[in-house]
Structure 1
Amino acid sequence: MEASVSWRTRIVSTVATTALAVSGGVLAVPAASAAVRPGNPFAGARGYVDPDWSAAALATAALGGDLRPAMSTVARQPTAVWLDSIASINGTPGRRGLRDHLDGALAQQDPGGQPVVITLVLYNLPNRSCTRAPSGELKTSADYRTQFIDPIAAILAEPAYRWLRVAVVVEPDALANALFSHFECAQAAEIYQEAIPYALSRLHETPNVHAYLDVTQSNQLGWEESLQAAAAVVRQVAGRTPAGVASIDGFAVNVADYDPLDEPFLDIDMMRNGVTIRQTKWVDWNNHLEESTFVDAMHAALVAAGFPEQIGALLDTSRNGWGGSARPTAASTSTDINTFVEQSRVDRRPTRLTWCNQKGAGLGELPRATPQTHVHAYAWVKQPGVSDGNEAGDVRCDPNGEIPPTRGSNRPTNAMAGAPPRGEWFPAAFTELVRSAYPPVL
């Protein structure tokens, strides 16, 4: 156990230092607007419902039997739109482009009534997953700026969309890749420091656009040294934009992941026979078991780094409910610390590092604004029912495979069988998410 702590500390310290050493100059971008943004774009707004995703959900609902009413409720919920390639900007056959979605959001907005907020995800950073699928299509920061960010920023700035509220999640997983990059991800930190400030700056030019920089989740950055290193890099990135800390309106947490909001039967300070649960294989010295406490800690670290108090989280609850028959109803009575944690935790994955089409996962809280302190909104950033991939694209999606050892022995992937390629509709996964939703969908 101690070895894993020193390993993580050494990697984070080295890479954070390298990242912070990258040129700290402010990027040259067009002048930003001086208009004042609302602190929380989700407050008082109605979320955009993606018609294509909703249609897929309703088609599955038609075959859903006793789950049909719940599936129909789910199909009416807002979800994010992912821009994960150059082609996704203008659309492809069978897939709407950015303008199509923005026009759709305008159509869902009542004239003179409640504003609509549409959530977008930028996911096309060069070398975005560090040799792991999906690796992305762009090779340099210059390509990212001119072929991806500039066209998106130009569309968002069109006058027709000025009355929409636009929340943009900026590059899921990129911060963790930059922090923990080593030999197979040697360029991740440099690319992050070059590309992310430019993206933030271009987004900030348009007053109704709000940037939420992804900070992954507690299973990646829950260790105190990791969290503090992340906050330092976020502050460094903001410092390289003309608007400084104002270029980041919030931080995105748990995007496309499964960490629960709360572990009701566990507390990080619990002990059994003088042994803390932080020493268990499941916790592995992490300071956070759940996203609620992680959000509070990240907020405190960012405020201490110079961000305003009103900065808040966009917390993805699309599949962190962990309901169903496997959900424990009480704390374990075991006196063995590892058994106690295994029997008490609601997160039923074999390890907190598995992420592909997880068996037993359920929908979490429905999307809504200001649900808790320091959270701007619960959102379904990952569209429920959209596949993470299959074994043809990534060994971590092989239902018969194992994830590589990181802290201990190999663990099963826990991936569902029969998955289609990444980004395609997966009816069985949608059904499982609705069946295992917590709270249950009525």
Structure 2
Amino acid sequence: MTASGAGERSRTATRRAVLASGAIALLALLAACAPASSADSPFAGRTLYRSPDSSAAIAARTGGTAAEREAAARLAERPTATWLVPERLPAGEVGPAVDALLDDAAGAAALPVLVVYGIPDRDCGGHSAGGLARTPYLAWIDEIAAAIGERSAVIVLEPDALALAEACPDAAARPALVREAAARLPATTTVYLDGGHSAWLPAERMAELLRAAGVDRVRGFATNVSNTRTTSEERAYAHRVAAALGGGHAVIDVSRNGSGPPADASWCNVPGRTVGEDPGPLDDEVVDAVLWLKPPGESDGTCNGGPPAGQWWPEAAIALTGGG
């Protein structure tokens, strides 16, 4: 081979290397700019956490009749979110409870899902009325955040807070408070703001409220929490909201939607409902997962014969599992 031929080959190889490196850089840039897909879902390859201290698990061990224990045991088999409510876990207690739960989840190599539910004027005087005033609420959020630390968790933040905002006295301040609460949660958490459901606000209006609450700074939004809309309805709704936002991700509560909604659109301890599909990830560009967020068997409130909100109701557990 002549010296000139060797030099030409060297120059050609150099040009190819430069072009290849440029192509790799371009692909990396495009990947960085592309919307997140189901491949980067926080649920991909993860096992969802089942708490041994859930209401269903406790009822399965200590319930009254054999039918009550059997129904509770069936519900306890499914990974279900843990609700953090200040009336049950006040300041000084919520941190240790979260720490213990995340330790147990880590020991099981599982991903915990938490629902944070303590905003001022919660439920606007409805069946789940309560919550904390602004300053103690943010301190309570800080305690939760400190307990989580650098560990991972999925958090659904303040069910109904945004969709109910216009019916509450603090309508203007509520999205800003949700935004501040979300900003205080650790970067290791995957946060979904509550986004109502398909039969509540129009998707465009829900998107406006989510945007005001800082949805662009978190993973996305949750739909159908504690409701019974079908999964297909909620997937379509989630896509409409995401389109109105210009992108985003969602999770859907399917814990009690197995029979769909009642004809009258009521939601509180609705008779004739059944549990939905098993929780887990979805292969969907918007919906990351379907989850059991509302624990089946816990009452919605003192309606249709139920006990106060959040209390275990054996009769409901039996009905939801098809036994009544």
* TM-score normalised by L of structure 2: 0.79
Q: In structure 1, what is the Cα distance between the partners aligned to 2:274 and 2:83?
A: 21
Q: Does the 8 A contact of 1:121 with 1:171 survive in 2?
A: yes
Alignment partner of 1:294 out of 226, 234, 237: 237
Q: Which has a greater percent of helix?
A: 2
- Flag as ranges the 4+ runs of structure 1 deviating above 6 A: none
The residue number in structure 1 matching 2:194 is: 214
The residue number in structure 2 matching 1:313 is: 250
Q: In structure 1, what is the Cα distance between the partners aligned to 2:65 and 2:245?
A: 45
Q: Does the 8 A contact of 1:371 with 1:378 survive in 2?
A: no
Q: In structure 2, what is the Cα distance between the partners aligned to 1:191 and 1:432?
A: 40
Q: Report the aligned-residue RMSD.
A: 2.6
The residue number in structure 2 matching 1:171 is: 158
- Give the letter for the 2:112 counterpart: I
Shift of 1:63: 1.3
Shift of 1:248: 1.4
The residue number in structure 1 matching 2:127 is: 133
Identity of aligned residues (%): 33
1:70-85 alignment, distance < 5 Å: 72-85=73-86
The residue number in structure 1 matching 2:219 is: 249
Shift of 1:232: 1.9
Q: In structure 1, what is the Cα distance between the partners aligned to 2:213 and 2:286?
A: 21
- Give the letter for the 2:223 counterpart: V
The residue number in structure 2 matching 1:377 is: 289
Summarize the Cα distance change of 1:61–1:431 in structure 2 as closer, same or farther, 3 Å threshold: farther
- Give the letter for the 1:300 counterpart: A
Summarize the Cα distance change of 1:84–1:261 in structure 2 as closer, same or farther, 3 Å threshold: same
Aligned partner of residue 273 in structure 2, secondary structure:
coil
Q: In structure 2, what is the Cα distance between the partners aligned to 1:39 and 1:71?
A: 34
Q: Does the 8 A contact of 2:203 with 2:244 survive in 1?
A: yes
Runs of at least 5 residues in structure 2 that lack an aligned partner in the other structure: 1-35
Shift of 1:236: 2.6
Summarize the Cα distance change of 1:131–1:207 in structure 2 as closer, same or farther, 3 Å threshold: closer
Q: Does the 8 A contact of 2:85 with 2:116 survive in 1?
A: yes
Q: In structure 2, what is the Cα distance between the partners aligned to 1:428 and 1:142?
A: 39
Q: Does the 8 A contact of 2:254 with 2:277 survive in 1?
A: yes
Q: Does the 8 A contact of 1:170 with 1:213 survive in 2?
A: yes
The residue number in structure 2 matching 1:428 is: 315
Q: Does the 8 A contact of 2:117 with 2:131 survive in 1?
A: no
Shift of 1:198: 1.0
- Give the letter for the 2:123 counterpart: S
Shift of 1:194: 2.9
- Give the letter for the 2:255 counterpart: S
Q: In structure 2, what is the Cα distance between the partners aligned to 1:77 and 1:195?
A: 32
Q: Does the 8 A contact of 1:61 with 1:71 survive in 2?
A: no
**CA shift digits 1:222-265 (9 cap, x unpaired):** xxxx3212212222332xxxxx82x2102100001111124xxx
- Give the letter for the 1:301 counterpart: A
Q: In structure 1, what is the Cα distance between the partners aligned to 2:282 and 2:244?
A: 20
Runs of at least 5 residues in structure 1 that lack an aligned partner in the other structure: 1-35, 110-115, 239-243, 263-289, 323-345, 391-396, 398-414, 438-442
Is 1:231 the counterpart of 2:196 in the alignment?
A: no
* TM-score normalised by L of structure 1: 0.59
1:136-147 alignment, distance < 5 Å: 136-139=130-133, 141-146=134-139
Aligned partner of residue 295 in structure 2, secondary structure:
coil
- Give the letter for the 1:174 counterpart: A
Q: Does the 8 A contact of 1:387 with 1:420 survive in 2?
A: yes
Is 1:260 the counterpart of 2:230 in the alignment?
A: yes
Is 1:56 the counterpart of 2:38 in the alignment?
A: no
Aligned partner of residue 219 in structure 1, secondary structure:
coil
Is 1:103 the counterpart of 2:103 in the alignment?
A: yes
- Give the letter for the 1:218 counterpart: S
Q: In structure 2, what is the Cα distance between the partners aligned to 1:260 and 1:237?
A: 26
Is 1:386 the counterpart of 2:323 in the alignment?
A: no
Q: Does the 8 A contact of 1:217 with 1:253 survive in 2?
A: yes
Shift of 1:133: 3.2
Q: Does the 8 A contact of 1:41 with 1:117 survive in 2?
A: no
Shift of 1:144: 1.9
Summarize the Cα distance change of 1:423–1:227 in structure 2 as closer, same or farther, 3 Å threshold: same
Summarize the Cα distance change of 1:98–1:374 in structure 2 as closer, same or farther, 3 Å threshold: same
Q: Does the 8 A contact of 2:231 with 2:252 survive in 1?
A: no
**CA shift digits 1:38-95 (9 cap, x unpaired):** 9421111111111122423524597139x94x76443221111111116515549xxx
**CA shift digits 1:23-47 (9 cap, x unpaired):** xxxxxxxxxxxxx9x9421111111
Shift of 1:436: 7.4
- Give the letter for the 1:434 counterpart: T
Summarize the Cα distance change of 1:363–1:129 in structure 2 as closer, same or farther, 3 Å threshold: same
The residue number in structure 1 matching 2:264 is: 351
Is 1:201 the counterpart of 2:183 in the alignment?
A: yes
Shift of 1:355: 1.6
Structure showing greater Rg: 2
